[in-house]
Structure 1
Amino acid sequence: MLTLTLNKSLRRMFALLVLCMGLGLVTSPVYAADEQSSQQQAKSKTSDADLWRAVKAGEPGYSTDKGLDADVLINVAGNEGKVLRNTYLKPALGLAVVGVFAAFLVFYLVNGPSKLSKGFSGKMVLRWSKSDLWLHWIMAISCLTMMLTGIVIMLGRHFLAPYVGDGIWAGIIAFSKFAHDWSSPIFMVSWLLCVIKWMPLQTFKMYDLKWFLVVGGYINFGPFKGKHPDSGFANAGEKMWFWTLAIFGLSISITGIMLVFPTLDLPRELSMLALLVHGLSATILIAFTIVHIWMATVLSEGGMECMVSGYCDENWASQHHNVWYDEIKADGSLKYKE
């Protein structure tokens, strides 16, 4: 009887041991699978984070498209250039348009125009040839077209688009882009001819320094009133305008070609640099153009006539460009309008 009871107890213990071993064999793979899955998920999350960190940093990947920069999803230079354009370049352009114009308007209202001290003589002296006039106006019209359309392209979404319908804005921006692109070749050709033709007249002389010191004789009050500094064919202000146009006109032409022709297939970094240099050059030229227009028209009595007929009043010539006037009188090249 004791033996029988002992045998039953042993059999039960053996069965319990086998059951425990079986459960261990079954659950061990499950636990191992769970642990492996958890490790894979953690690794996947880390891998995704590293991937997007690399993408945002502009690191190249792999693409079947073999075009330039096709394997880069996010271009860092492009994003940084956009920030610079929106943060600095756009406000600078707005300041150039509004600020410079407003400053000269206030100056005109306070100071008035620069009057001819001896009045108009009625004798008209030849100053510009017909070819000079044609070159000037072709360049001026194409340049102003590019400036106005460029302002719309860069700033129009802020001061124009919110106040017109989407359809009208789409038409305006499309026309601005078309006019901007097609007026640029006319500007570049006329700009080059003007620079070549007028450069000999634009060298700075020592008397140009005095022109700046007395603000060209345009101030009608205080110690500067009645001061008419010496000036050759071009005064110091006109020479500054010429060299600004020469330098930044070249910059605008080169960067414009880089931006307009997609077949050049430039790197994104170079394209963004060209866009920023183009915008900066345009901003400087726009500011100087506003100054040039003010100085040549309302601030200078009799000045506009020069670029309309090519002739200027003799008293205007002797007051504003006395060195040139004395030279053409001395060498006999002075010609009056018949």
Structure 2
Amino acid sequence: MNKWLKHIGVAIALFFSVSVFANATDKVGDTIEVNNGQIWAQLKAGEEGRTTSTSEFHTQAINTYDLRVLELRSDILAPALMAALFGMIIIFVLFIKVNGISKLHGGYSGKLVYRWSKFDVSIHWLGAIPCLLLILTGLMLIAGRYFVQPYIGEGLWASLVNASKQIHDIMAIPFMLGWALMVTLWAKNQMPKMYDLKWMMVVGGYINFGPFKGKHPDAGFANAGEKLWFWAFAAFGLVISASGMLLLFPNLFEPSRTLSLIALVLHSVSAIIITAFSIVHIFMATVMSEGGMECMVSGYCDETWASQHHNLWFDEIKANGTLKYKE
């Protein structure tokens, strides 16, 4: 009997001990939660502390500036990049449905005029293919969580993001090489001229209704629209390349945290602009302008296309004897 009473006494003692410990733990947890709330509020307000770190941010436990930049990227820049890609595609599809494409008057002549060398064609695709891959992978990295992640499993999403990151990093180098070659070698044919203003005023003659219908403004080797695209690509391609190098090789350049964040924002903004221009460029070359795509496939263009869309250049090569047909 005494043995059972002893066991019962131990059990009761254990019960009360556990109860007291649980109650004390709850109070400690509540105290910690309150203290944590106070600490976070103080840190967000700019309260400084002391640490043995020698970093430039050693007094800053929370970098609220970083958070604002990251929110800007996720809440504004990500949707803007989606709009630049999908929005421009929708706009062009609707425009072509209403307006139609720019047909060659009289149809194809059957005579192909030399326009680009094989080296120029190679340079174009050296920049174009990586550019498209960078746009698609960049879109996946910055905005994929909006239109891909909700519809696939977490494992597949993780693999897709990892693959996008690897492709994005690898394609950066050939893109920068293609950009540098195009800007260096093609700038001489992209200088603005007075007749470019007239081209812009009638939208290049691509409008098939109203007072713009049937207009074919003067254009040299490059028309005003191509020049606008070239200089946008040159300027924002430089920003993308410079910011991309900082982000791709942080150990080499050792940028500050602030510079890295600025590079991240500039990289995204430039990507949005180049994406919008790229969609216009692709549609104009492949769909909108009949006969336009041939130029960057073989380096030759149809004679009718040359005289209709780049009449001043065509007249020039006829006059100076450099006109060359494909045999």
Q: Which residue matches 1:119?
A: 107
- Number of aligned pairs? 295
User: Is 2:236 the partner of 1:283?
Assistant: no
Q: Which residue matches 2:321?
A: 332
Preserved contact between residue 75 and residue 268 of structure 1 (Cα < 8 Å): no
Preserved contact between residue 57 and residue 76 of structure 1 (Cα < 8 Å): no
After superposition, the C-alpha distances for 1:218-242 in whole angstroms (9 at most, x for unaligned) are 1112211110000000000000000
Q: Which residue matches 2:304?
A: 315
Q: Distance in 2 between matches of 1:315 and 1:247?
A: 33
Q: Distance in 2 between matches of 1:134 and 1:48?
A: 60
User: Is 2:261 the partner of 1:267?
Assistant: no
Q: CA deviation at 1:331?
A: 0.2
Normalising by structure 1, we get a TM-score of: 0.83
Q: Which residue matches 1:247?
A: 235
User: Is 2:222 the partner of 1:257?
Assistant: no
Q: Distance in 2 between matches of 1:242 and 1:271?
A: 27
User: Is 2:87 the partner of 1:99?
Assistant: yes
After superposition, the C-alpha distances for 1:119-168 in whole angstroms (9 at most, x for unaligned) are 11111000000100000001100111111100000111111011111111
Q: Which residue matches 1:31?
A: none
1:256–1:60 distance in 2 versus 1, CA, 3 Å: farther
Matches within 5 A, 1:121-140: 121-140=109-128
Q: CA deviation at 1:50?
A: 7.7
User: Is 2:194 the partner of 1:199?
Assistant: no
1:252–1:60 distance in 2 versus 1, CA, 3 Å: farther
Q: Distance in 1 between matches of 2:85 and 2:236?
A: 17
Q: Secondary structure at the match of 1:298?
A: helix
Q: Secondary structure at the match of 1:312?
A: strand
Normalising by structure 2, we get a TM-score of: 0.86
1:61–1:268 distance in 2 versus 1, CA, 3 Å: farther
After superposition, the C-alpha distances for 1:165-188 in whole angstroms (9 at most, x for unaligned) are 111111100010010011101111
Q: Distance in 1 between matches of 2:52 and 2:248?
A: 27
Deviates more, 1:258-267 or 1:307-316: 258-267
Preserved contact between residue 74 and residue 142 of structure 2 (Cα < 8 Å): no
Q: Quick one: percent identity of the two aligned structures?
A: 55
User: Is 2:217 the partner of 1:236?
Assistant: no
- Equivalent AA in structure 1 for residue 284 of structure 2: M
Preserved contact between residue 217 and residue 228 of structure 1 (Cα < 8 Å): yes
Q: Distance in 2 between matches of 1:161 and 1:291?
A: 28
The alignment's C-alpha RMSD in Å is 2.0
- Equivalent AA in structure 2 for residue 238 of structure 1: E
Q: Distance in 2 between matches of 1:148 and 1:54?
A: 41
Q: Distance in 1 between matches of 2:256 and 2:41?
A: 22
- Segments of 4+ moved more than 4 angstroms: 47-54
Q: Distance in 1 between matches of 2:125 and 2:162?
A: 25
Q: CA deviation at 1:273?
A: 1.3
Preserved contact between residue 101 and residue 288 of structure 2 (Cα < 8 Å): yes
Preserved contact between residue 74 and residue 143 of structure 2 (Cα < 8 Å): no
Q: Secondary structure at the match of 2:287?
A: coil
Matches within 5 A, 1:1-338: 52-58=40-46, 60-263=48-251, 264-338=253-327
- Equivalent AA in structure 1 for residue 292 of structure 2: G
Preserved contact between residue 77 and residue 272 of structure 1 (Cα < 8 Å): no
Q: CA deviation at 1:59?
A: 5.0
- Equivalent AA in structure 1 for residue 137 of structure 2: T
Q: Distance in 2 between matches of 1:59 and 1:285?
A: 41
Residue segments in structure 2 that go unaligned for 5+ positions in a row:
1-34
Q: Distance in 1 between matches of 2:94 and 2:126?
A: 30
Q: CA deviation at 1:48?
A: 8.4
Residue segments in structure 1 that go unaligned for 5+ positions in a row:
1-46
- Equivalent AA in structure 2 for residue 256 of structure 1: G
Q: CA deviation at 1:268?
A: 2.2
Q: Distance in 2 between matches of 1:262 and 1:199?
A: 31
Preserved contact between residue 68 and residue 265 of structure 1 (Cα < 8 Å): no
Q: Distance in 2 between matches of 1:147 and 1:70?
A: 37
After superposition, the C-alpha distances for 1:283-335 in whole angstroms (9 at most, x for unaligned) are 00000000000111100000000000000000100000000000000000000
Preserved contact between residue 79 and residue 143 of structure 2 (Cα < 8 Å): no
